[in-house]
A = this chain, B = another copy of it.
Protein backbone atom coordinates (compact mmCIF):
# COMPACT_ATOMS: atom_id res chain seq x y z
CA UNK A 1 0.00 0.00 0.00
CA UNK A 2 1.11 3.49 -0.83
CA UNK A 3 0.16 6.11 1.76
CA UNK A 4 1.51 9.31 0.22
CA UNK A 5 -1.12 12.01 0.30
CA UNK A 6 -1.64 15.70 -0.38
CA UNK A 7 -4.17 17.66 1.68
CA UNK A 8 -5.54 20.77 -0.05
CA UNK A 9 -6.68 23.84 1.89
CA UNK A 10 -7.77 27.05 0.12
CA UNK A 11 -10.59 28.60 2.16
CA UNK A 12 -10.89 29.55 5.81
CA UNK A 13 -9.82 28.63 9.33
CA UNK A 14 -12.51 25.95 9.71
CA UNK A 15 -11.12 24.09 6.71
CA UNK A 16 -7.52 24.41 7.93
CA UNK A 17 -8.60 23.12 11.35
CA UNK A 18 -10.32 20.15 9.66
CA UNK A 19 -7.19 19.42 7.63
CA UNK A 20 -4.96 19.54 10.71
CA UNK A 21 -7.30 17.14 12.54
CA UNK A 22 -7.22 14.82 9.49
CA UNK A 23 -3.43 15.00 9.43
CA UNK A 24 -3.04 14.21 13.15
CA UNK A 25 -5.42 11.26 12.74
CA UNK A 26 -3.48 10.08 9.70
CA UNK A 27 -0.13 9.99 11.48
CA UNK A 28 -1.73 8.39 14.55
CA UNK A 29 -3.30 5.64 12.42
CA UNK A 30 -0.12 4.66 10.58
CA UNK A 31 2.72 4.55 13.09
CA UNK A 32 4.51 1.72 11.25
CA UNK A 33 4.28 3.13 7.73
CA UNK A 34 6.66 5.30 5.78
CA UNK A 35 4.95 7.92 3.63
CA UNK A 36 4.98 11.56 2.65
CA UNK A 37 2.07 13.79 3.61
CA UNK A 38 1.91 17.27 2.13
CA UNK A 39 -0.38 20.14 3.13
CA UNK A 40 -0.74 22.48 0.17
CA UNK A 41 -2.24 25.89 0.92
CA UNK A 42 -3.35 28.35 -1.75
CA UNK A 43 -6.09 30.93 -2.24
CA UNK A 44 -7.33 33.02 0.70
CA UNK A 45 -6.18 30.33 3.16
CA UNK A 46 -2.68 31.69 2.68
CA UNK A 47 -3.69 34.41 5.16
CA UNK A 48 -3.79 31.76 7.90
CA UNK A 49 -0.14 30.78 7.46
CA UNK A 50 1.56 33.65 9.29
CA UNK A 51 4.26 33.04 11.88
CA UNK A 52 2.18 34.98 14.41
CA UNK A 53 -1.12 33.41 13.38
CA UNK A 54 -3.49 31.29 15.42
CA UNK A 55 -2.44 28.14 13.54
CA UNK A 56 1.33 28.55 13.80
CA UNK A 57 1.67 26.23 16.78
CA UNK A 58 -0.51 23.48 15.25
CA UNK A 59 1.38 23.74 11.96
CA UNK A 60 4.71 23.41 13.77
CA UNK A 61 3.42 20.36 15.65
CA UNK A 62 2.19 18.75 12.42
CA UNK A 63 5.55 19.40 10.81
CA UNK A 64 7.07 17.68 13.84
CA UNK A 65 5.02 14.59 12.96
CA UNK A 66 6.56 14.65 9.49
CA UNK A 67 4.13 16.83 7.53
CA UNK A 68 5.51 18.87 4.61
CA UNK A 69 3.81 22.28 4.44
CA UNK A 70 3.80 24.02 1.08
CA UNK A 71 2.24 27.35 0.15
CA UNK A 72 1.55 28.95 -3.21
CA UNK A 73 3.64 31.93 -4.31
CA UNK A 74 0.78 33.19 -6.47
CA UNK A 75 -1.39 33.40 -3.37
CA UNK A 76 1.31 35.20 -1.38
CA UNK A 77 1.61 37.81 -4.13
CA UNK A 78 -2.13 38.15 -4.58
CA UNK A 79 -2.62 38.95 -0.90
CA UNK A 80 0.53 41.09 -0.61
CA UNK A 81 2.28 38.84 1.91
CA UNK A 82 6.05 38.55 2.20
CA UNK A 83 7.81 35.19 2.48
CA UNK A 84 9.29 36.32 5.81
CA UNK A 85 5.77 36.71 7.21
CA UNK A 86 5.14 32.95 6.90
CA UNK A 87 5.47 30.29 9.57
CA UNK A 88 8.99 28.87 9.37
CA UNK A 89 7.65 25.42 8.44
CA UNK A 90 6.27 26.72 5.11
CA UNK A 91 8.00 25.92 1.84
CA UNK A 92 7.02 28.15 -1.09
CA UNK A 93 6.11 26.55 -4.42
CA UNK A 94 5.68 28.63 -7.58
CA UNK A 95 2.09 27.51 -8.21
CA UNK A 96 -0.05 25.53 -5.79
CA UNK A 97 -2.14 23.94 -8.54
CA UNK A 98 0.95 22.55 -10.21
CA UNK A 99 2.02 21.03 -6.88
CA UNK A 100 -1.41 19.37 -6.51
CA UNK A 101 -1.21 17.87 -9.99
CA UNK A 102 2.45 16.86 -9.78
CA UNK A 103 1.95 14.97 -6.53
CA UNK A 104 -1.10 13.13 -7.89
CA UNK A 105 0.86 12.30 -11.06
CA UNK A 106 3.45 10.68 -8.77
CA UNK A 107 0.74 8.57 -7.13
CA UNK A 108 -0.20 10.62 -4.10
CA UNK A 109 -3.83 10.52 -3.00
CA UNK A 110 -5.73 13.83 -2.84
CA UNK A 111 -7.91 14.88 0.08
CA UNK A 112 -9.84 18.14 0.30
CA UNK A 113 -11.01 18.54 3.91
CB of A100 within 8 A of chain B?
yes
Write out the residue numbers on chain B whose beta carbons fall within 8 Å of the beta carbon of A107: 105
B21 near A105 with CB under 8 A, answer no
Write out the residue numbers on chain B whose beta carbons fall within 8 Å of the beta carbon of A98: 3, 26, 29-30
CB of A1 within 8 A of chain B?
yes
Q: Which of under 10, 10 to 19, 20 to 34, or 35 or more describes the interface residues of A?
A: 35 or more
Interchain CA distance A22-B6 in the complex, whole Å? 17
Write out the residue numbers on chain B whose beta carbons fall within 8 Å of the beta carbon of A57: none
Interchain CA distance A71-B85 in the complex, whole Å? 39
CB of A58 within 8 A of chain B?
no
Write out the residue numbers on chain B whose beta carbons fall within 8 Å of the beta carbon of A113: 10, 43
Interchain CA distance A101-B23 in the complex, whole Å? 12
Q: Which of A95, A96, A107, A111 has the most CB of B within 10 A?
A: A111
The chain B residue with its CB closest to the CB of A43 is B18
CB of A32 within 8 A of chain B?
no
CB of A74 within 8 A of chain B?
yes
For the complex of A and B, 5 pairs with smallest distance between CB atoms: A104-B109, A29-B95, A101-B109, A112-B112, A26-B97
